[in-house]
Amino acid sequence: MSAAAIEVSDLRKSYGEVEAVRGVSFDVARGEVFGLLGPNGAGKTTTVEILEGYRRRTGGDVRVLGQDPQDGSRELKERVGIVLQGSGFYPRLTVGEAVAHMAKAYPHPRDPRETIALVGLEPQADTRAGRLSGGQQRRLDLALALVGDPDLVFLDEPTTGFDPAARRGAWDVIRTLRELDKTVLLTTHYLDEAQALADRVAIVKDGRIVAEGPPTELGPASGTYRVSYLSGDRRVEHQTDDPTDLLHRLTGDALARGERLEGIEVARPTLEDVYLELTAEDEPE
């Protein structure tokens, strides 16, 4: 058995003339939370739906828990939990009934009550799915994906459309998955979400991975530091790849003039800077 939960090499997918995924490669280790980050239409969902077995790839190779998802084997589906973008469940079933029904499809399910508690839906256990709020419905999605006690969980844009409180709630659940030693593949277009949850992130643009690594290391790799200070009541900002040299000049000049640099700040590049740099539309190919 291989060590990686997911192995993707040179994955390609075309729809007619349009190439949605153009040679994507990455591995996700067991127990890792991996984030695919990118703007809408970058190819994240297509990639994930190939891994989930919903779509057939045009090229490349894919292994999920050692199997090819394209084969659609029941054994693989028993070990994988899927949270899709915006898919519902029977609106006339209660939360409790829905989770208990889905549990029967798996060989070693979690206890349905405990699963409902895990996602924080206990007060709604007897509420029909159709009457849940948007955030509660996504938590039901999560409960339905977890009730089979999967080794690997796919979360496609799990918090899109959530209010801030609901997002924090969902993040807590995803952190719980890590504690349960699940492997998680998460897609998101929220930077803070990737930063808060993922052990490693791949930034996807136009069907390709343009950067990959732990979120804290992706930042410094960019190199654009921001140095700013107050001049009168105006904030002056400089961008530089070499903060040491810039600071030396700025402070040297200030000392020579006998001034102080009020409110000086040096900002390390964040994942956001990397992301915006890499996914900027105006960059020539």
Partner 1 sequence: MSSAALAWQQFRLERKLFWRNPSAAFFGFVLPMVLLLLLASTVASDPEDLDILIPGIAGMSVMGTTFNSMAYSLTFLREQGILKRLRGTPVPAPAYFAGFLGNAVANAFVQVGLVVLVGHLLYDVTWPRDWFELVVFTIVGVVAFGSLGIALSHFIPNFDSAPAYVNAIFLPAILISGVFYSAESLPASISGVAEALPLKHVIDGFSDAIIDGRGLGHEFGALAVVAAWGAVGLFLAIRGFRWDDER
Taking the complex as a whole, how short is the minimal distance between the CB of residue 52 and partner 1, in angstroms? 6
Please identify which residue in 12, 14, 27, 54 interacts with partner 1, judged by CB under 8 A.
Answer: 54
Please identify which residue in 23, 63, 68, 106 interacts with partner 1, judged by CB under 8 A.
Answer: 106
- Among the candidate windows 21-29, 88-96, 183-191, 263-271, which touches partner 1 by CB under 8 A? 88-96
By C-beta, is 105 or 255 nearer to partner 1? 105
CA distance 144 to 149: 10
What residues between 148 and 207 interact with partner 1 by CB under 8 A? 148
- Among the candidate windows 69-77, 157-165, 172-180, 198-206, which touches partner 1 by CB under 8 A? 69-77
CA distance 155 to 250: 47
132 binds partner 1 (CB under 8 A): no
102 binds partner 1 (CB under 8 A): yes
Please identify which residue in 1, 17, 74, 165 interacts with partner 1, judged by CB under 8 A.
Answer: 74
State both tokens at 63.
């292994």
78 binds partner 1 (CB under 8 A): yes
Please identify which residue in 29, 59, 90, 176 interacts with partner 1, judged by CB under 8 A.
Answer: 90
List C-alpha distances in Å: 261 to 245, 253, 266, 268. 16, 10, 12, 19
- Cβ atoms < 10 Å from Cβ of 276: 13
* Dihedral sign for Cα atoms in the order 133, 81, 173, 114: positive
Residue 187's DSSP bridge partners are 36, 156
DSSP readout, 115-180?
HHHHTT-GGGTTSBGGGS-HHHHHHHHHHHHHTT--SEEEEESTTTT--HHHHHHHHHHHHHHHHT
6 binds partner 1 (CB under 8 A): no
Interface residues with partner 1 (CB under 8 A)?
Answer: 52-54, 74-75, 77-78, 80, 82, 84, 86-93, 97, 101-102, 104-107, 144, 148
